[in-house]
Amino acid sequence: MSTAARKIRLLMLLRRNGVTDVGVLRAMELVPREIFVPATFHDQAYEDTALPIGHGQTISQPLVVGLMSQALELNDRLKVLEVGTGSGYQAAVLSKIVRRVYTVERHRPLLAEAEHRFRTLRLHNITARLADGMKGWPEAAPFERILVTAGGGSEPPPDLVGQLALGGIMVIPLGPDRREQKVVRFRKTEDGLEREALWPVRFVPLLPDIAGEPARTTVPEE
């Protein structure tokens, strides 16, 4: 089966399983997922499965990427913070829909690889940073949307809540452990956070920065 046929099959599967947002589906059609996985997994790039990318991390299953992106209620005017760059695939999908993506990663090798992919694909509206994702990106706040692609705890990190704009949406996996996580959507109102549990999921844990690793920002070409 050709790559094009595999991609069409995957998009049809996503539609059947609840990804109905036209913008999200179009973005996932445009972003070549095979670039974001190791060469040994290229033949599985358009299967609906998570794949290892090294350093104990994975690229999320396409259905999860589609549903979480859809849950953010995206449009082309938004500035989005992503916590957990990983391979860079989720940031690339977001970049096809929104005005600007800020993405934070704590593993230097993963970030370097993701940055290389962004340059290769000429995704100039992504700004990447090596830092503690739990602290967000205060210099660029507030954000209309925040997406966290690692899980943990029963509440979102306070710094991220503080950087979410009034009326903004945060989507984050929460739960006491990896076996009991759910994707939760928060809306920030004048009265506080409105919470909505969406669906069960399993993500790697959200961890603080590695000791001794300074923050580093890569600003894209304009």
87 is catalytic: no
Is-contact 92 121, C-beta < 8 A? Answer: yes
- The β-bridge relationship of strands 164-174 and 143-148 is parallel
Tokens of 117: 């992919």
Task: Find the catalytic residue in 2, 60, 69, 87.
Answer: 60
Strand order in the sheet with 192-201: 192-201, 181-189, 164-174, 143-148, 79-83, 100-105, 126-130, 216-218
Question: Which has the closest alpha carbon to 24: 15, 33, 36?
Answer: 15
Alpha carbon separation from 13 to 10, 18, 46 (Å, rounded) = 5, 9, 11
Q: Give the residue numbers annotated as catalytic, written as ranges.
A: 60
